[in-house]
Amino acid sequence: MALHIHEAWILLFVIPGLVTPAAINHEDYAADEGDQTSSNDNLIFDDYRGKGCVDDSGFVYKLGERFFPGHSNCPCVCTEDGPVCDQPECPKIHPKCTKVEHNGCCPECKEVKNFCEYHGKNYKILEEFKPSPCEWCRCEPSNEVHCVVADCAVPECVNPVYEPEQCCPVCKNGPNCFAGTTIIPAGIEVKVDDCNICHCHNGDWWKPAQCSKRECQGKQAL
């Protein structure tokens, strides 16, 4: 029994020596994926510097090819130093532009303010309006509101009336003036009492009436 154990140990030491490096055929084993691509001339590099250009969407362009890096960029030419892009002189945006789009090489105005704002309301260009009975306004092309305030003439009466939706007062009963505390019409002589006859000044309706005394008429006794 001991003899067999000794022979088994001898066999264990001898068998590994029989397998030499020359006996392993490397062609029988598949090469690693890295070894396969290392000899591939068509290798695609992640770094395209000096080999191409990449736009915002990841598309690759060859040297000398013209392309747009992104939807809001100017056109570029792919060079070994990277994209060389056009730098055009873009038109100036209108100062009254209220909506600007940046979907191209140059910003573009899509909406220009074409109204005026006055006291919280909007008015179209050249629109005329009356914010009050005495104001006349217009929305100018400059988007500014210009107003004119009515200059009312001096009324020809001492009791002018302001009518609704009218700017200037009107003399509903015609020209008149004061004779003391009594209002008398203009253009005629008015006997205001037993002794005085008055009339209004011509054109100077705000002045007191001119009065002259006449022979007073006393009351006759019954």
* Residue count (the chain): 222
Give the distance, in angstroms, between the CA of residue 28 and the centroid of all CA atoms in the same chain: 74
Residues 131 and 160 reside in one and the same domain: no
What span, in angstroms and rounded, lies between the C-alpha atoms of 100 and 7?
95
Of 92, 80, 28, 20, the residue nearest 50 (C-alpha)? 80
12 within some domain: no
Q: What is the pLDDT of residue 146?
A: 94
Question: Which residues form the domain of 142?
Answer: 115-149
Total Cβ atoms within 10 A of residue 211: 19
How many domains does the structure of the chain reveal?
Answer: 3
Any domain includes 30: no
Task: Return the pLDDT at 68.
Answer: 85
Note down pLDDT in tens along the chain; length 222 residues. Answer: 444 444 443 444 444 444 444 444 444 434 444 444 444 444 444 566 667 888 888 888 889 998 888 876 788 999 888 888 888 888 888 777 888 888 778 888 887 788 898 999 999 999 999 998 889 999 998 889 999 998 888 888 999 998 888 889 999 888 999 998 889 998 888 888 888 899 888 767 778 888 888 777 655 433
57 and 103 assigned to the same domain: yes
Task: Tell whether 199 and 179 lie within a shared domain.
Answer: yes
Cα 108–chain centre separation: 14
* Structure tokens given for 194: 């037993």
Question: Is residue 185 in some structural domain?
Answer: yes
Residues 160 and 192 occupy one common structural domain: yes
pTM to 2 decimals?
Answer: 0.39
Residue 207 and residue 180 share a domain: yes
- Considering the domain architecture, whether residues 207 and 158 belong to the same structural domain is answered as yes
Residue written as tokens 């013209």? Answer: 66
* Domain identity same for 135 and 167: no
Residue 160 located in a structural domain:
yes
Nearest CA to 79 among 48, 45, 50, 55? 50
- What does the pLDDT read at residue 166? 85
What's the pLDDT score for residue 126? 92
In angstroms, rounded to a whole number, what is the distance separating the alpha carbons of residues 116 and 125? 7
